[in-house]
A = this chain, B = another copy of it.
Amino acid sequence: MDITVAIDAMGGDHGPHVTVPAALKFLSENPEVNIILVGLQDALEVELKAHRATIGPRLRIHHASEVVAMDESPALALKSKKDSSMRVAANLIKTGEAHACVSAGNTGALMAISRFVLKTLPGIERPAIAKLMPSMRGSVCMLDLGANVDCSPEQLLQFGIMGAMLVSAVHHKSNPTVGLLNIGSEEIKGNEVVKQAGELLRKSGLNYAGNVEGNDIYLGTTDVVVCDGFTGNVALKTSEGLAKMVGTFLSEEFKRNVYSKLAGVIAFPVLQSFKDRVDSRRYNGASLLGLRGVVVKSHGGADEFAFRYALGQAVEEVRNKVLHRIAEKIAEQIPSHPPEAAD
């Protein structure tokens, strides 16, 4: 099956300078993928030319006259920029021209536009941002990472279902374990929402492993970690800050004096393979789950290497029919929503 991905080519801190070369490299590595670059025709042509590339049967440009700024209000972007590269890219899913859309742009705007254009799957109240992160046992899928500040117990259950389906589809784990992020492993811990969500998850058909704590994310205690968007966003960004501090300190120690510099040269291949292993670029690409379309958000500062991982995430979700699986499981759990409305 050929898969067509629409790229919001203007999105992110670097726009076409990253999205275009990433698209070209990705196309050369994935013969079954087609790409539509969405954005300012002129800018995209210049960038293609700079890479001695041209459009063709697997790569085309779809002009969009506006660009959503990284710091623009999502509501304003939705209301006033109807021809933004982000919105046109989402529209291409709706019209059936693309199977998925990838953007490194403004997260809030991407969520607002995707919800407006694509709508949510039956039985899903609100989409969530899900992301794979490295763990001591491989990887862990965490959601929500910031789309929903306040969540109901029912929404947390929906997140659990969506996360489990993403992991089972893309990572081929048949019955992934789901943990509920809390501040203690006992059932009595946490606030009312978390306690009630625990009840719903326990009664669900998911492989529910009970409460997990912050350290369990990286220990890889469960395959999926469910939380509200406030907590998830804080956990994710705290991790980013700590990783940066650790990296800086390590680098500083190896630059301290002549001996440590020499040690750094000798240890370089080892440090490099460590760095590769925790390289956040390999985990780039957060899924906006719960929509009637595959939408993947790349980190705004992603380089070409990282952006290709976001493209890969989108392709894998289409290939493994994540939306269909979510719709089926939601219908199974919440029988008032038949799955046929999903695809």
**Would A245 and B264 count as touching, CB distance under 8 A?**
no
Which of B229, B237, B246, B270 sits near A253, CB closer than 8 Å?
B270
Contacts of A146 in B (CB 8 A): 183
Given A149-B191, A191-B150, also A250-B236 (CB < 8 A): no
Chain B min CB distance to A310 (Å): 20
CA separation between A195 and B54, bound complex, in Å?
Answer: 50
**CB-CB nearest in chain B for A233:** B183
* A215 interface residue (CB < 8 Å to B): yes
**Would B235 and A238 count as touching, CB distance under 8 A?**
yes
* A242 interface residue (CB < 8 Å to B): yes
Chain B min CB distance to A63 (Å): 32
Which of B183, B245, B270 sits near A136, CB closer than 8 Å?
B245
**Would A241 and B217 count as touching, CB distance under 8 A?**
yes
**Would B218 and A244 count as touching, CB distance under 8 A?**
yes
CA separation between A132 and B237, bound complex, in Å?
Answer: 19
* A289 interface residue (CB < 8 Å to B): no
Give the size of the chain A interface in residues (CB under 8 angstroms): 55
* A273 interface residue (CB < 8 Å to B): yes
Given A183-B146, A241-B219, also A249-B234 (CB < 8 A): no
**Copies of the chain in the assembly:** 2
Q: Chain A's interface: helix, strand, loop or mixed, by majority?
A: helix
CA separation between A34 and B21, bound complex, in Å?
Answer: 68
**CB-CB nearest in chain B for A215:** B241
Contacts of A271 in B (CB 8 A): 253
**CB-CB nearest in chain B for A272:** B253
**Would B263 and A235 count as touching, CB distance under 8 A?**
no
**Would A135 and B245 count as touching, CB distance under 8 A?**
yes
**Would A249 and B267 count as touching, CB distance under 8 A?**
no
Write out, one digit per residue, whether chain A residues 203-227 have a CB within 8 A of any chain B CB (1) or not (0).
0000000000111111100000001
Given A218-B242, A259-B269, A266-B267, also A230-B277 (CB < 8 A): no
A residues whose Cβ falls under 8 Å from a Cβ of B: 134-136, 146, 149-150, 181, 183, 190-191, 213-219, 227, 229-231, 233-246, 248-250, 253-254, 256, 259-260, 262-264, 266-267, 269-271, 273-274, 277-278
